[in-house]
């Protein structure tokens, strides 16, 4: 079978000719430093990929490492322009994208659900998984994580998510684990229970703070909260959350 040259590898020290694409991953100095350490007199000529506008499709960190080290940049120009979603897919074969990378990517493409997600996290400072749980009204699943990475994440009820976050923050004065994942999932479950009253729980918790300890699972948290909630309740009036 014959072979043919598809793209030539070019080289330059003119770093200014390259442009970054809005929506591509943010350059992180730690990753740049790692690449710089691997660059020596026998620099591996691994080319970056650019389009005809000299926009970097793959290799932003390699470009920055070469610029900082004063080394030549090897690059290949491809004629077909990739959109930001295709760039993301290309990059994931080289280095795993972070939640922040995906968030920035889809915000750059104008996806308002990711704008809302970021706004929610910056406002309440809960973790990624916990924020997804609140914004979608339930415990996240592997499918939801894939949906988030694919750009198909949807906020189901922002007002309800805000209310949930605010209720969780009310626990802060009594329990420092109020942001723990299993605790958040447990509280989301309890907020939907017809017999649960958050004000009553807070009142009971206020003089039983030593009972509120770290446990591992949603079920263990619900059992612990149930015990605190039933304090001084008659046997007839005790509630069960399972």
The values of phi and psi at residue 75, to 5°, are: -150, 155
pLDDT tens series, the chain, 242 aa = 454 555 677 889 999 999 887 666 677 888 788 777 766 544 555 678 888 888 887 788 888 888 898 888 888 787 655 555 555 555 554 456 678 877 877 776 778 999 999 999 999 999 999 999 999 987 667 678 778 887 889 999 999 999 999 999 999 999 999 999 999 999 999 999 999 999 999 999 999 999 999 999 999 999 999 999 999 899 899 999 98
DSSP states of 57-71: EE-HHHHHHHHHHT-
What are the structural domain ranges in the chain?
9-97, 105-237
- pTM equals 0.65
């Amino acid at each position: 079978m014959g072979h043919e040259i598809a793209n030539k590898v070019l080289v330059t020290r003119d770093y200014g000719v390259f442009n970054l694409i809005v929506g591509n991953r943010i350059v992180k100095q730690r990753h740049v430093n790692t690449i710089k350490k691997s660059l020596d007199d026998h620099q591996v000529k691994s080319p970056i990929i650019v389009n005809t506008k000299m926009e970097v499709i793959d290799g932003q960190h390699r470009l920055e490492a070469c610029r900082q080290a004063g080394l030549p940049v090897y690059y290949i120009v491809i004629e077909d322009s990739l959109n930001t979603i295709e760039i993301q897919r290309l990059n994931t074969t080289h280095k795993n994208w972070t939640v922040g990378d995906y968030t920035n990517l889809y915000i750059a493409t104008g996806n308002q659900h990711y704008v809302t997600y970021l706004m929610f996290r910056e406002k309440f400072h809960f973790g990624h998984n916990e924020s997804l749980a609140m914004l979608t009204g339930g415990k996240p699943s592997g499918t939801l994580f894939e949906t988030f990475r694919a750009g198909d994440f949807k906020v189901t009820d922002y007002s309800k998510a805000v209310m949930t976050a605010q209720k969780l923050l009310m626990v802060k004065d009594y329990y420092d684990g109020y942001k723990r994942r299993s605790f958040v999932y447990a509280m989301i479950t309890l907020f939907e229970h017809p017999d649960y009253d958050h004000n009553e729980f807070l009142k009971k918790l206020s003089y039983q703070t030593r009972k509120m300890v770290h446990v591992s699972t949603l079920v263990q948290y619900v059992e612990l909260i149930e015990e605190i909630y039933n304090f001084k309740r008659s046997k007839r009036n005790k509630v069960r959350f399972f």
